[in-house]
Amino acid sequence: MKNYIVLFFVLALWCAFLPCLRFIDLSGDVSASVPSCSAEESAEAETATPCFSAADTRLVLYVKETNTAKSVELEEYVACALAAVMAEDSPVEALKAQAIAIRSLALNRKHSPVHHGFDMCTDPFCCYPVAETTSATYINIATETDDVILCYRGAPVMALSHLSSCISTEAYGEEYPYLSCVRVEDEKGFACYKTLYSYTKGDFKRRFEKNNIAFTEDHNTWVGESLFTDGNRVRKITLCGTELTGDRFAAALGLDSLCFSVTPTEHGFDVVCYGSGNGYGMSRCSALIMAAHGADYAKILQRFYPNTVITKLIK
């Protein structure tokens, strides 16, 4: 019996020792064997570019302005959308970053549809506006980046972008960890950063006709408290005791952004709006600033779409 107990302990010790064998260099140099193994792994990780295959790259585009739909090739779409949102003389790396974001969004929409009967639309708050014509500059940028997209967990990302943000971009939701609040560059130098809208009391009131607001005589008491998002945009705002979403309030007044403040004036209201666009993903003004300071497209994209991977697109 005693022999069995000894044998049991010997076997148990051997089993515990087995996993350590892989770290022992048989030449006797234990310390040298471990770093060489991890160096091989990191070299392999650097050379392995993730890929995404897209067999069908034709898109059905709904043109909101003409209420029509048309079929376009992916790169034609990229060049025309790029022409609609970026100036031709923008820094090349900012143009490339935007082209890759547009291509990624197009493939995201194609593989995870949000529209019925078409892949993309020209509503800038939903997809990207699209110019009717493009130029050699935009076509060249599209061609130079035509095998690059951004992916999250192996699929193209919903790479929305907007013109300008005040302080921070906006978080889209927990299921999109790459559309989070990202602090932007100082964009005060751009004209689109700050816009003043003025309304007379009557005009202001007319714009909320459909919302059944019980307006009182004294307009100084109409606009109440606001609730803000993490990205400093108006989530909810009270108007004469009725709570409205920031979206609905901004749509009624035709505001460019949900980052705004309302001040009563003698005859109506002044609304100061900061930034322009939906606030999601890359701020194009910040991308221009970064590119002007030497950042390449990869650095710009990885700042505004954290947790994503630059991926090779195979068509």
Please give the residue ranges that form the binding site for Zn ion (CB under 5 A): 121, 126-127
- Strands 309-314 and 51-53 come out as parallel
Amino acid of residue 232: N
- Strands 155-156 and 268-274 come out as unpaired
Give the shortest CB-305-to-Zn ion separation in angstroms: 18
Give the shortest CB-177-to-Zn ion separation in angstroms: 22
Residue 296 per-residue DSSP state? -
Give the shortest CB-128-to-Zn ion separation in angstroms: 8
Contacts of 148 (CB under 8 A, 6+ apart): 100, 103, 310, 311, 312, 313
Q: Which two tokens stand for residue 301?
A: 């994209």
Cβ nearer to Zn ion, comparing 124 with 275: 124
Distance CA 5, CA 87 (A): 82
Amino acid of residue 123: D
Cβ nearer to Zn ion, comparing 127 with 148: 127
Give the shortest CB-162-to-Zn ion separation in angstroms: 14
- Is 272 strand, coil or helix? strand
Distance CA 79, CA 297 (A): 17
Give the shortest CB-109-to-Zn ion separation in angstroms: 7
Cβ nearer to Zn ion, comparing 112 with 135: 112
Cβ nearer to Zn ion, comparing 126 with 139: 126
Query: Around Cβ 141, how many Cβ atoms within 10 Å?
Result: 27
Cβ nearer to Zn ion, comparing 107 with 290: 107
Distance CA 293, CA 199 (A): 40
Cβ nearer to Zn ion, comparing 64 with 207: 64
Contacts of 118 (CB under 8 A, 6+ apart): 60, 61, 62, 69
Give the shortest CB-205-to-Zn ion separation in angstroms: 32
